[in-house]
Amino acid sequence: MAKGSNIVFFCNECGYESRKWLGQCPSCKAWNTFVEEKVNTSSKSKIVSGISKSTVTTLKEVTNEDGERINTGFDELDRVLGGGIVVGSLTLVGGDPGIGKSTLLLQVCRNLANAGLRVLYISGEESLRQIKIRADRLGETNDNLKVLCDTDLSNIESVLKDEKPEFVIIDSIQTMYKEEVGSAPGSVGQVRESTNVLMQLAKGLNIPIVIVGHVTKEGVVAGPRVLEHMVDTVLYFEGDRHESYRVLRSVKNRFGATNEIGVFEMRNDGLREVLNPSAFMLEGRPVDAAGTVVACAMEGTRPLLVEVQALVCNTNFSMPKRTAAGMDYNRVNLLLAVLDKRAGLSISDCDAYVNIAGGMKLNEPGLDLAVAISLVSSFKNKPVASDTIVFGEIGLIGEVRSVTQDKARILEAKKLGFNRVILPEISYKTLCKDCKDINKEYGLTFIPIGNVSEITRSDIFA
CB 401 within 8 A of CB 393: yes
Measured CA to CA, the distance from residue 283 to residue 279 in angstroms comes to: 6
277 marked ligand binding residue: no
Measured CA to CA, the distance from residue 325 to residue 91 in angstroms comes to: 30
Measured CA to CA, the distance from residue 236 to residue 94 in angstroms comes to: 5
101 marked ligand binding residue: yes
100 marked ligand binding residue: yes
Measured CA to CA, the distance from residue 18 to residue 181 in angstroms comes to: 16
Identify residue 341 by its one-letter amino acid code.
Answer: K
Omega of the bond prior to 127 within 30 degrees of 0, cis? Answer: no
- DSSP strand E in 318-452: where? 322-325, 350-356, 388-390, 393-394, 400-401, 420-424, 445-449
- 248 sits in the region (left: phi over 0; alpha: psi -120 to 50; else beta) called beta
96 marked ligand binding residue: yes
Q: Which residues contact 41 (CB under 8 A, 6 or more apart)?
A: 4, 5, 6
- DSSP strand E in 214-269: where? 233-238, 245-253, 261-267
Q: Dihedral, CA atoms, 132, 138, 139, 142, nearest 10 degrees?
A: -50
99 marked ligand binding residue: yes
- DSSP annotation string for 6-28: EEEEEETTT--EESS--SB-TTT
From residue 329, alpha-carbon distances to 110, 240, 365, 393, 418 in Å are: 41, 19, 13, 16, 29
Residue ranges for the known binding site for ATP are: 95-102
Residue ranges for the known binding site are: 95-102
